[in-house]
Structure 1
């Protein structure tokens, strides 16, 4: 594993429940479009890679697909098993998954490429386990990101917090532009054909305290940044966050946070 992969394992260790309570709702937004892109319907043999809390698995089961799922975090595996009791859910880490060649009609990965140190090798692995004529579909967060996605980072910066030294980034030789063009090129270079990409933009509506609960609990890299100086740093960032929230507050008291993601699909 790369330094980034090791960093990701540390970030997510034991945080499945906190993720389910906070950021899982945001990440579930593209699920219908993701499944449409992969052609998932009745009888489709589908693998949900990086299944998290199980939103993709549950939706695919609802479409009548024959679903299996895999995640690197044991807590996420258990969460998906609870959410979809009939699905075969396993523990597995990219870029080597515990499935034979050509096993699936469709393989989907919802916001998984954001969490791997070798993105091209990951797509190659998804292609390996997809049958000829099958489809691979993925989502990632766009860079530059939406204003809502940047909110907590702005608060942390205003509070003087800095990225922890152990929090690694993807090695330059493995990274790619997080744009439609960059994602499309990655899919093509990994051997997929008929690659199509699109931009997904939406406002995530959530209470200010609920949105803060994710990073305050240490969820994701932004949570590690917020907690990098202990309770005092968290409190300082929260004060800045409360001020910045006014930019996104609606009359009903919720925040409307603009997010931008990318969706790509390719055929084997």
Structure 2
């Protein structure tokens, strides 16, 4: 059986720091008080919310992430995944879903479930990775090409489930779920990460590039490691850190205040 604890630890030092780039904006746009954090990962956003005085209920689909979040948070952490949440109808004033909808197999059912959980007047803040590729993923794509890696076929949702991967596309999906849109825009920031931390995430099979690495033969994986080391040594700053420009699609939505429960 795979040791998922190692995955949570690798995620915490790598891609969790990437996803944390939107946390401050999400919390600033959601009302104070109770917060439900869907897809909490290792709990970085939820921990920031607790430091601000909020009461947090955090949920994640992965057992290792739940364990890691429990070690970081004071509030309740449960294992659960969209589109079925163990939460009461219309009980949440504020929901964060940071880079979650891009991972679910049934995004429309997921939005319907978030609508169910929100109280009338409650707010939902969501992010997804937009189409087009981030600078960090473009670099890794070049490294895979230079290493003669064989890329597995991309995973795609069925046509009747998929949606446009942009702020407008996420907003349209959200409207289908019965919520009103308050904001739909792109968020940009800079991701700073040490090469060894990025490699830890890849080696653990996290994100699409991690899955690509895991799919290679041992010989190709060793070649990727060599090319990765050479390329990142060229790109690190004086502190030994990589700097990437990052963009996310963001939607802030509200359940119509006058809606009957």
State the TM-score, normalized to the length of structure 1: 0.87
Q: 1:54 aligned to 2:46?
A: no
SS in structure 2 opposite 1:157?
helix
1: distance between equivalents of 2:23 and 2:234? 28
| 1:152-207 Cα distance to aligned partner (Å, 9 max, x none) | 23212332223336x73322221111112111111111111134112111221122
Q: 1:26 aligned to 2:14?
A: no
SS in structure 2 opposite 1:149?
helix
| 1:188-246 Cα distance to aligned partner (Å, 9 max, x none) | 11111134112111221122222222112212222110121232222222233334436
State the partner residue of 1:265: 252
State the partner residue of 1:143: 131
Checking the alignment, whether the CA contact within 8 Å between 1:67 and 1:88 is kept in structure 2 is: yes
Number of matched pairs: 253
State the partner residue of 2:7: 15
Unaligned runs of 5+ in 1: 1-9
State the TM-score, normalized to the length of structure 2: 0.89
Query: Where do residues 1-268 of structure 1 align in structure 2 (5 Å cutoff)?
Result: 15-39=7-31, 41=32, 44-84=33-73, 86-164=74-152, 168-245=155-232, 248-268=235-255
Checking the alignment, whether the CA contact within 8 Å between 2:50 and 2:56 is kept in structure 1 is: yes
Cα RMSD, aligned residues only:
2.1
SS in structure 2 opposite 1:136?
strand
Instruction: Measure how far apart 1:248 and its partner are.
Output: 3.8
Instruction: Measure how far apart 1:252 and its partner are.
Output: 3.2
2: distance between equivalents of 1:249 and 1:36? 32
Write out the 4+ residue segments of structure 1 that deviate beyond 6 Å after TM superposition. Answer: none
SS in structure 1 opposite 2:226?
helix
